[in-house]
Amino acid sequence: MRILFVGDIVGKAGRQAVRTHLPNCISRWSVHLTIVNGENAADTGFGITRPIYDELLAAGADVITLGNHSWNRKEALQFIDECPRLVRPVNYLAGTPGKGALLIEVRNGRRALVINALGRLFMEPVEDPFGRIGAELDANPLVRAVEATIVDFHCEATGEKHAAGHFCDGRASLVVGTHTHTPSADDRILPGGTAFMTDVGMTGDYNSIVGMVREEPLRRFTTGIPSARFEPASGEATLCAVLVETDDRSGLALSIAPVRIGGCLKPALPSFADEKS
Ligand code: FE2
């Protein structure tokens, strides 16, 4: 199974990059399952709206994951239960609307499990992500229940993301970090067969401070005084993603490669996908 995971889509610029590049990526690499992180996709750069959920599905996303900004657009608390492909962190408190894991049928008739979780270091308080992820993995084991499992670990701390990768190693097809908005260079397959990347990077304008227009964050760092709202940067975005190929017989990874298209980052394309197509 070929799985494409697109990193945090930031504002209008990020959505434009998704509309421009995602359909071609899906067809060129014969992708079976496309997951995007949409927690920054609103025009403000924080949260998601119902029209944007529809827009991302129309661009080719099969599943949309969230993160610490899930509820910045308050209407998401209402519409999430009407959006079957929207997944919020699994380790929110009991009673939170929506779902933290989604079992879906993929384009080729196989089954996949998508889990979204929040880290706890340098983040708002949430329940234990490891226990919640482990419960989902135990309930839906690779091979017996699903052909692939993908974990979006939305988290600030590198060490916690590494721990999530090793915690899931051999039990998930892909563990990918989101939230820090900068792609790491450590995409690889862990010893137990799980593809891993500490952070996939954002799909946004990198001529910015984590996707935001530079002036206000710079002012806050240099003076300590907030004086305006953060605004998403509007230059050409880089689509940042990771492409993984898995073995349907084991659910484990065969190949992983980063994807970077457009904007000001160095391009990266998954040569393994073109060679085998
Ligand atoms: Fe985030």
CATH number at residue 74: 3.60.21.10
Among 7, 6, 4, 8, CA closest to 33: 4
Contact 164, 117 (CB under 8 A): yes
| Range(s) of the domain holding residue 35 | 2-273
Is the whole model's pTM more than 0.95, yes or no? yes
Distance CA 272, CA 247 (A): 14
CA of 89 to the centre of ligand 1 (A): 11
CA of 138 to the centre of ligand 1 (A): 27
pLDDT at position 274? 78
For residue 44, with 0-12 CB atoms within 10 Å meaning exposed, 13-18 middle and 19 or more buried, which class applies? middle
pLDDT at position 80? 96
For residue 236, with 0-12 CB atoms within 10 Å meaning exposed, 13-18 middle and 19 or more buried, which class applies? middle
Q: Which residue, chain included where needed, has tokens 């699994």? A: 90
CA of 70 to the centre of ligand 1 (A): 9
CA of 37 to the centre of ligand 1 (A): 9
CA of 249 to the centre of ligand 1 (A): 34
Q: Which of 69, 154, 179, 181 is catalytic?
A: 69
Number of domains in the chain: 1
Strands (E), 162-252: 174-178, 188-189, 195-197, 239-246
Q: Which residue, chain included where needed, has tokens 């403000």? A: 44
**Secondary structure of the chain: what % helix, strand, coil (to 5)?**
25, 25, 50
DSSP-derived pairing of the beta strands 174-178 and 148-154: parallel
Reported as a single tens digit per residue, the pLDDT across 138-178 is 999 999 999 999 999 999 999 999 999 999 999 999 999 99
Question: Does residue 162 carry a catalytic annotation?
Answer: no
Cα–Cα–Cα angle for 125, 129, 132, rounded to 5 degrees: 125
Distance CA 241, CA 7 (A): 6
Phi, psi values for residue 209, rounded to 5°: -115, 105
pLDDT at position 276? 52
DSSP-derived pairing of the beta strands 195-197 and 188-189: antiparallel
235 C-beta neighbours (distance < 10 Å), count? 14
Low-confidence residues of the chain: pLDDT under 50? 277
CA of 179 to the centre of ligand 1 (A): 4
